[in-house]
Structure 1
Amino acid sequence: MKAITLNSTQPSRLLLTEVQTRSLMPGEVRVLIKAAALNHRDEWCRQGRYPNIKDGVILGSDGAGIVSEIGEGVDYSILQKEVIINPALNWGDNQKVQSSSFEILGMPRNGTLAESVIVPVDRLFERPQHMSWEESAALPLAGLTAYRALTYQGNIQSGENLLVTGFGGGVAQFAVQFGMALGAKVSTSSSSPEKLEIAKSLGVLHTFNYLDHNWISKAVEETNGFDLIVDGAVGDTLNHLIQVAKPGGKVVYYGATLGNPTKLEARKIFWNQLKIIGTTMGSDQDFKNMVSLVNEKKIKPIIDQVFKFEDAEKAFDRMRDGKQTGKIVLVP
């Protein structure tokens, strides 16, 4: 089968090649991929910035397709079902935190950027029928991350002020859409006026260009501060977020693309009784609840562009350069 693998000998560090598949183990299924989507972790793997990376692994965590083969012990009724794949493996029984054996599909285990993928049957959910194949593939990882950040970690309530930073990325666009679906008053930030216009078209109440040195005072003036802030950058921008959080508010961060802050406004954190919370992916229960919300509210992800597998380097470069608004999708 054709697959996009990590290969450090290539200038792009990507190789579209023929990969030999294997037989199914008990409890496993084979899914013929109709569409797959990129996440930042795929680009970080390409750059060598992710732990335990190795050449030859098929990249990709997000995918949607049709069950074509089942292993021993799997119910025949799932054959030919249209499914999405939960890429969170071995979360465990503790809703608070993942187990020590937790991993994400696509590194070090072969992922979804292939004509087919083998996964445990309990990773499958019925594909949302109001979505296209491309939209379905875009949902799992970013949708799960956004949902847990908002609900389990952020405990967002209807009527609360929510700020989602960095609108344009997959998690951020889902956090905006989920926040609105849950009744929050949603604001977002970006350095791109074009992306902020798209956010407004979705129904976002307030938008802020974080390159504007007055954005902090504008945010406080327009919203009176935020009950919950969802962020994937951290770095020194964390101190900006602390300034726009309401007393008693929360900052939930799911990534650190800007690295660690060089300083921290500790006094403001304790005086305003703020909560700084980390979150990663989500539990099986989070995924189930996320899919239910998506189906109930008929939420559709924003698709930035769709590429053929042969154009994978262009797709990865677009993510690397931060040009996307929404999810980048690849199809075999």
Structure 2
Amino acid sequence: MQAVRFDGHGDTDVIDYGDVPDPEVGRDDVLVDVKAGALNHLDVWTRRGMPTLDLAMPHVPGSDAAGVVLETGADVTRFAEGDRVAVSAGVSCGDCEFCRDGDYPLCTSFHVIGEHVPGVHSELAAVPEDNLVAVPDGVDWETAAAAPLVFQTAWRMLNTRADVSPGESVLVLGASGGVGHAAVQIADHAGAEVYATASSEEKLRYAEEIGADHAIDYESTDFADEIRAHTGKRGVDVVVDHVGEATWDDSLKSLAKGGRLVTCGATTGGRPETHVQRLFWNQLDILGSTMATPGEVDDVLELVWDGTFDVRIRDVLPMSETARAHEMLENREGFGKVVVRPDSDY
């Protein structure tokens, strides 16, 4: 079969599209005829080898994909040939103390399809049954592929970790990205007053279209100053920051006393300076979050499938142009998700 692959870590020139062996289908696996995949920033980090990754090479990346079931392993009970499915990439052991409590993202051996083990940006993919969700008829492949990772991540951040309530105020940084555009919609759905940052008039307009009450151009203004001005120097109740070093200090400055900062990533670096005095004096909470439980995945995807949440697609490319898709993410081009499709289906 044909698949996206790389033989070593580096820049986009390490990415290739070519022949790899067909996947082996284990007893708990489902063989999926992949119709579409989607890019996330973790694909960029995996390609670069950050943080330190010890991957078997060549590595097939990709944590988001959707397609049709071709074959099922002997122990599979939830899916059958012809079913429409999408990948939910977080893999848990199911047996540690956290899994027994139902909080699977805290699993002591938690790992991610495409990041720590072979991914799904290929013509065929063998995926554990527990890592698939059903896709209703009428949902297009691009939406099905692009929704799971970012919407489950944003859902857990805002609903489970930050516990956003109606009437609270939420600032979403990087609203044009995958997690950002999901977080804007989820915060709006929760009844919050939503502030969003982006870097162009077009992106700001998109943010407003999907639920932002206030859109701030972070390239022309200091967003922390803008937040203080908008809120009468109070600040917001919650900041969603997946940017890291470049925004961390201003994110903390943007919080009201007793506010919560929730983070799932650090696309500009993971070692920001923190003014500890601000933390204890303003009694701030910093909350880490990643992926979601199966129940959280089901809850948010139901709202994607029924059209409550809009999965914005910035471009659809053949898998042979995945290097270009990586460049779009790195250069912050466009609004929403980048989708790739097998060249044979493009």
1:38-53 aligned at under 5 Å gives the runs 38-50=39-51, 51-53=53-55
Question: Once the 2 structures are TM-superposed, how far is the Cα of residue 149 of structure 1 from its aligned partner?
Answer: 0.6
Q: How many angstroms apart in 2 are the aligned matches of 1:199 and 1:9?
A: 34
| Structure 2 CA distance for partners of 1:48 and 1:76, relative to 1, 3 Å | closer
Report the AA paired with residue 157 of structure 2: A
Equivalent in the alignment of 2:85: 83
Say how many residue pairs are matched.
332
Q: How many angstroms apart in 1 are the aligned matches of 2:327 and 2:13?
A: 9
Question: Once the 2 structures are TM-superposed, how far is the Cα of residue 130 of structure 1 from its aligned partner?
Answer: 5.2
Q: CA RMSD in A?
A: 2.1
Question: Once the 2 structures are TM-superposed, how far is the Cα of residue 262 of structure 1 from its aligned partner?
Answer: 4.9
SS in 1 for 2:325: helix
1:301 aligns to 2:306 (yes or no) = no
Question: Once the 2 structures are TM-superposed, how far is the Cα of residue 91 of structure 1 from its aligned partner?
Answer: 5.8
Range that drifts further, 89-98 or 131-140: 89-98
Could you list the per-position Cα deviations for residues 101-124 of structure 1 after superposition, in whole angstroms to 9, with x for gaps in the alignment? 211111332211101110111212
Equivalent of 2:206 in 198, 204, 226 = 198
Equivalent of 1:242 in 252, 257, 281 = 252
CA contact (8 A) 1:232 1:254 kept: yes
Equivalent in the alignment of 1:3: 3
Equivalent of 1:58 in 46, 57, 60 = 60
| Structure 2 CA distance for partners of 1:12 and 1:157, relative to 1, 3 Å | same
Range that drifts further, 108-117 or 46-55: 46-55
Range that drifts further, 169-178 or 309-318: 309-318
Question: Once the 2 structures are TM-superposed, how far is the Cα of residue 193 of structure 1 from its aligned partner?
Answer: 2.9
SS in 2 for 1:137: helix
Equivalent of 2:197 in 177, 182, 189 = 189
Task: Provide structure 1 residue ranges, at least 5 long, that are not aligned to the other structure.
Answer: none
1:33 aligns to 2:34 (yes or no) = yes
Question: Once the 2 structures are TM-superposed, how far is the Cα of residue 84 of structure 1 from its aligned partner?
Answer: 1.0
CA contact (8 A) 1:236 1:260 kept: no
Q: How many angstroms apart in 1 are the aligned matches of 2:29 and 2:105?
A: 25
SS in 2 for 1:112: coil
Q: How many angstroms apart in 2 are the aligned matches of 1:293 and 1:91?
A: 28
CA contact (8 A) 1:91 1:284 kept: no
Range that drifts further, 3-12 or 276-285: 3-12
1:159-198 aligned at under 5 Å gives the runs 159-198=167-206
CA contact (8 A) 2:174 2:180 kept: yes
Equivalent of 2:263 in 249, 253, 265 = 253
Q: How many angstroms apart in 1 are the aligned matches of 2:60 and 2:251?
A: 37
CA contact (8 A) 1:130 1:298 kept: no
Task: Provide structure 2 residue ranges, at least 5 long, that are not aligned to the other structure.
Answer: none
Q: How many angstroms apart in 2 are the aligned matches of 1:130 and 1:56?
A: 35
CA contact (8 A) 2:259 2:284 kept: yes
Range that drifts further, 139-148 or 202-211: 202-211
- TM-score, normalized by length of structure 1? 0.93
Report the identity percentage: 30
Consecutive aligned runs of 4 or more in structure 1 exceeding 4 Å deviation: none
| Structure 2 CA distance for partners of 1:295 and 1:310, relative to 1, 3 Å | closer
Could you list the per-position Cα deviations for residues 65-96 of structure 1 after superposition, in whole angstroms to 9, with x for gaps in the alignment? 11110110223852211111111111641417
SS in 2 for 1:282: coil
